Amino acid sequence: MSYNSRVPFSQIIAGTMRLGQWGAKFNSDEYLAFIEACIELGVTTFDHADIYGDYTTEEEFGQALASKPSVREKIQIISKCGIRRVCSQRANHRIKSYDSTKAHIIASVENSLKALKTDYIDVLLLHRPDYLMDPDEIGEAVQILNEQDKIIDFGVSNFNTHQFDLVNPKVALCTNQIEVSLQNLNAFDNGLIDQCHKYRLPIMAWSPLDGGSIFAKNPSEQNTRIYKVAYPLLEKYNCSLDQLLLAWLMKHPAHILPIIGTSKIERIKLAKAATDIHISHEDWYDLFQASTGKTLA
């Protein structure tokens, strides 16, 4: 099945949130080494947001790109805007709020382009639904940015189906970045996955391993049920537990792209290898029922 996207996303997306001040605190050389190692693995799409690292991660990433400009043409950059975060980098933000006004979207893109040291962002997403959002104004902002070649495509993140449908007629959306994993199945029932599948749009899945809860020292009842089903399958599919859970997610025909939020290239390598694991229908449902704790009706 082909999908409606002007940007060639890699099947695994590298999340950048924990590379900088909110995590590994990479220096410029470490950023570049991580980026190039990802490219070597075929992981060429990088997920950013303007707020990451309290508005510092994009700039740090951009410094790494500037040190080797040829890298930019090999990757796709996703960035998100729309959250006004209170921090020292944005002293004019009095409270945390959401802002999808034309002025804020355009200013955010200008800031991100400057920070990332690039002429364009492959995909811009609204990070959170703004209760005051005006779809006409959003559409105007995107049209201006498209005409100026500052973004290639536009989508949303964390939108419910009604919010998606409010904006989509004004500007054709390319994705909805949502939380979904074997442990968090809400998107399978609330219409989010079906909606993207209907419009043939790839889904970007954040927290595809439920924030690493599967490795918790004191597992939840849900994860204990999942272990019971999953462990016998690890030998069958010759894989690790995290690979099995990623392969389970990617089994869905809606074209789900896991965002792997790690600073360790070994985790990226394992995730990439999971794209070659093909779980059977019955094993998929066995894991699904382990997660819900219920048999199918």
d(CA 268, CA 255): 19
- DSSP-assigned letter for residue 170: T
How many Cα atoms within 13 Å fall on the side-chain side of residue 130? 23
Residues noted as catalytic: 52
* Among 170, 190, 172, 166, CA closest to 180: 190
How far apart, in whole angstroms, are the C-alpha atoms of residue 170 and residue 101? Answer: 14
All residues at 6 or more sequence positions from 209 whose CB lies less than 8 Å from its CB, including other chains: 181, 242, 245, 246
Radius of gyration of the chain (CA): 19
Q: Are 237 and 280 in contact (CB under 8 A)?
A: no
Q: How far apart (Å, rounded) are the C-alpha atoms in residues 190 and 293?
A: 19
